[in-house]
Amino acid sequence: MSRIGRFLRCAGLVALGSLLLVGCPGNGPDELVVTFPEAFRWGTAASAFQIEGAEDNTWVQFTTLPEFEGKTVEPAGTGVDGWERYEEDAALVEALGADVYRVSFEWSRIEPERDVWDEHAFEHYRTVLEGLRARGIEPT
């Protein structure tokens, strides 16, 4: 820790970006107060690849094709069925008190073949985004 960092820490003020820690960290949880700017937004994130379980994805191919054997620790799994359970996921984000959710779209669902577009996938993701906004959660 730099001299100025030690000084600020001992003085009881530590600034981390837009956060301000008041109290001397290390003196116990009751002596540390964390304040956030009024406009601070709480959020969470998920990757479609990680949660949806799409099978025709380049990452799934990377982890399962014979020519890539040994280049990954284990093959990609099936996710946690986020494609079907998106409403439950939105409820969990809301229960956390988050007001921002970084979502991603599984491209292999949107364009399953080159220049072939899946309207059902577009509609599904539209429904996901509308559902988040209805809960007061801004998708990013």
Q: What is the pLDDT of residues 23-33, one digit of tens each?
A: 555 555 556 66
Quick one: pLDDT at residue 99?
94
Query: What pLDDT sits at residue 61?
Result: 75
Q: How far apart are CA 119 and CA 59, in angstroms?
A: 23
Q: Is the backbone of residue 65 left (phi > 0), alpha (psi -120 to 50) or beta?
A: beta
CA distances 98 to 21, 40, 93, 138, Å, are 21, 11, 6, 9
* Structure confidence by residue, pLDDT tens digits, 87-116: 999 999 999 999 999 999 999 999 999 999
Its pTM stands at 0.70
pLDDT at 26: 57
Q: How far apart are CA 61 and CA 112, in angstroms?
A: 14
Q: How many CB atoms within 10 Å of residue 96?
A: 13
77 bridge partner residues: none
Is residue 50 pLDDT above 50, yes or no?
yes
For residues 29-38, average pLDDT: 70
CA-nearest of 83, 81, 78 to 121 is 83
5-14, 24-33, 60-69: least confident range: 5-14
End-to-end Cα spacing for the chain: 35
